Amino acid sequence: MSKILQGKVISNKMNSTAIVEVLRRVPHRLYRKIIKISKKFKVDTKGQKVEVGQMVKIIETRPIAKDKHFAIFISDINSTESTAKKSKTKKEKKA
């Protein structure tokens, strides 16, 4: 069974690779306060277009490169099209 994680794209400057930051909330072992732990994964995009700031789901795969062992599973969790539509309507209202 493969791991499926959700995170935010923080870089897409490499060829067919993006960096996704996954945020987890876990209790501290001693004090039990909820703390945030983040980890960055290199992800294979397989020709999909991903933008910085986009929320994606990634799935664990066989090793693709030395440090790349995840692939994009779903890339339209919070679609950027809806934010683009909002910005267009704001521009139309101003004009």
* Element spanning 12, H or E: strand 4-14
DSSP letter at 95 equals -
CATH architecture of 4-94: Beta Barrel (2.40)
The pTM of the full predicted model, rounded to 2 decimals, is 0.76
- Domain segments of the chain as ranges: 4-94
> Would you state the pLDDT for residue 95?
57
pLDDT of residue 34: 98
Q: Give average pLDDT by consecutive 10-residue segment, the chain, 95 residues.
A: 94 96 97 97 93 96 96 76 54 59
Task: Identify the pLDDT of residue 85.
Answer: 53
CA 10, 12, 13, 17 torsion: positive or negative?
A: positive
Q: Judge whether 8 and 42 are in contact, CB under 8 Å.
A: no
Residue type, 2: S
Strand, helix or coil for residue 42: strand
